[in-house]
Amino acid sequence: MTKKMTPGLFSKGQMSHTHPKWEQSLQRGREYFPHEEKPDETRSPFYRDYSRILHCTSYRRLKHKTQVFFATQNDHICTRMEHVNHVASISYTISKFMGLNTELTQAIALGHDLGHSPFGHEGETLLSEIMQQWDGSFWHEKNGLYTADKIATLPNAYGIHKNLRLTYAVRDGIISHCGETDENGLYPRVQAVDLEQIERPNQYMPYTWEGCVVKLSDKIAYLGRDIEDAIELNLLEPDRLEQLNKLLRKVPLPRGVEDNKPLVANNTALIELFIKDLCTHSSPEEGMHFSHTYYDLLVEIKEFNYRHIYFHPRLVYYQEYARCIIRTVFDFLDTFYGSDLLKNIEDSMYKFPTLLRYFREWLIKYSLIDPKAREDARFENDLIYDLSDRTQYRRAIIDYIAGMTDNFAIRVYQEIISF
């Protein structure tokens, strides 16, 4: 007999004012000053976080960052911004059914990929390789927290740029969202750890049930959409698609899904099947998990995507192009370091106006290289770099590149190599 879904099973674990983790979840950082925070008269703290993420430029740039296919000119191919909205939609459905805090899941979902570089995971890999030479490694979950804490800003009502100061629960969900690993049976961790000290992806489970929802929703969101994009770009031959459809025919269908018609392995089918299976089998006692059958299906589809989409030969060629762009921009900007850094940049700005104009602004915003210009620009965000240190200057380059869209990175690369 098919197991029934029971709504509201997790309502006692909802992140609300009665939850023992509530006060910790609302913390906005060690250096946060409570008098700067507005009273929550129209929005909850988590919905305020959602709004802050929605309006910051780091989120806006996701619309031109790679999900799987680089700098595509096809308007129907998924971008990083579409992906985070897919995750937000799926997270909302699951958390609402389970009785959890939908505003918290929405905020985590919207911010979970703020740390992605241009050109997707290939860009992430190259930036990590560069950083390993002098300052650790680069991984997008950690960079997502760093972006939310240090890079992303918003002008307030007086035009003064401030950091986002997101709540602990949202920041935790961002760095703990890793959806690349295959685990089944998620429980939120008990302890509140120092998020800045997390050293590797998936080191900790999320602090909240809502963070667990986003972690699982991330997987559900990308599998089907990546398949649809591959079909749109003619990367999957008919026999490959039939192979994929056969995987669906091996699993029992949940209640409410017609069993007299063959399902097609597209975004609609996979989202519905995995959401219903997750909501059917999860409980506070057994954790959030898929049935064994659907977990195996998820792993098989993921393996199919890696074999036939993510490692497709056509993507390999563009990966080399992406690596060339990032490496060239990094090496070029590194040549400007010297005793009069800002003057070195300004003297070459007429030749490389786009690249150097925005890089100069970046250095002014996040360092004290020109306090007067910083004051005039009304930047009151946290300082990040001491530019007397070459390593910190190189970190500034990495952060600048990581914030670029695919199209902007290509544009400034062409500026460097054109005569």
Q: What is the mean pLDDT of the chain?
A: 93
- Using DSSP, state whether 289 is helix, strand or coil: coil
Closest CA to 380 of 146, 31, 143: 31
The candidate with the shortest Cα–Cα distance to 329, out of 396, 244, 259, 243, is 396
Q: Residue 122: its pLDDT value, please?
A: 93
pLDDT at 178: 86
User: Residue 187, Cβ neighbours under 10 Å: how many?
Assistant: 16
List beta partners, residue 154. 162
**Rounded-to-integer distance, Cα 57 and Cα 118, Å:** 15
Token reading at 36: 């700067």
Tell me the C-alpha to C-alpha distance, in Å, between residue 45 and each of 115, 120, 190: 22, 31, 22
pLDDT of residue 362: 98
Amino acid present at 358: Y
How many Cα atoms within 13 Å fall on the side-chain side of residue 29? 18
The per-residue pLDDT for range 95-109, each reduced to its tens digit, is 999 999 999 999 999
- Cα–Cα distance measured from residue 80 to residue 204, given in angstroms and rounded to the nearest whole number: 24
Please give the model's pTM, rounded to 2 decimal places.
Answer: 0.95
- What is the three-class DSSP state of 184? coil
**Hey, what amino acid is at 246?**
K
Per-residue pLDDT tens over the stretch 231-256: 999 999 889 999 998 988 888 877 66
- Residue the block writes with tokens 């800002």: 342
Mention every residue, 6+ apart, whose C-beta is less than 8 A from residue 215. 176, 177, 178, 179, 186, 206
Q: Report the pLDDT value the prediction gives residue 1, as an integer from 0 to 100.
A: 39
Question: 353-366 and 390-402 are packed helices; what angle lies between their axes, rounded to 10 degrees?
Answer: 120
- Mean pLDDT, consecutive 10-residue stretches, the chain (419 aa), reads 81 97 90 58 92 97 93 89 97 98 98 96 95 88 98 97 98 89 85 96 96 96 93 91 89 71 86 95 96 94 94 90 97 96 97 98 98 98 97 97 97 96
402 close to 138: Cβ distance less than 8 angstroms: yes
Cα four-point dihedral sign 335, 338, 340, 341: positive
- For 5-25, b/e burial (b = at least 16 CB within 10 A) is beeebbeebbbeeebebeeeb
Phi, psi (degrees; rounded to nearest 5) at 186:
-95, 135
Q: What is the pLDDT of residue 157?
A: 94
Domains present along the chain, CATH in parentheses: 22-310 (1.10.3210.10), 313-417 (no CATH)
CB 346 within 8 A of CB 128: no
Q: What is the pLDDT of residues 299-309, one digit of tens each?
A: 999 999 999 99
Q: What is the per-residue pLDDT for 70?
A: 85
Cα of first residue to Cα of last residue in the chain, in angstroms, is: 71
DSSP state letters, 337-405: -STTHHHHHHHTTTTSHHHHHHHHHHHHHHSSS-HHHHHHTTB-SPP---TTSHHHHHHHHHHHHHT--
Quote the pLDDT of residue 181: 63
Q: Convert 108-147 to b/e letters by CB count within 10 Å (16 or more is b).
A: bbbbbbbbbbbbbbbbbbbbbebbeeeeeebbbbbbbbbb
Distance of CA 369 to the CA centre of its chain: 30
Which residue is it, tokens 């099973």? 9
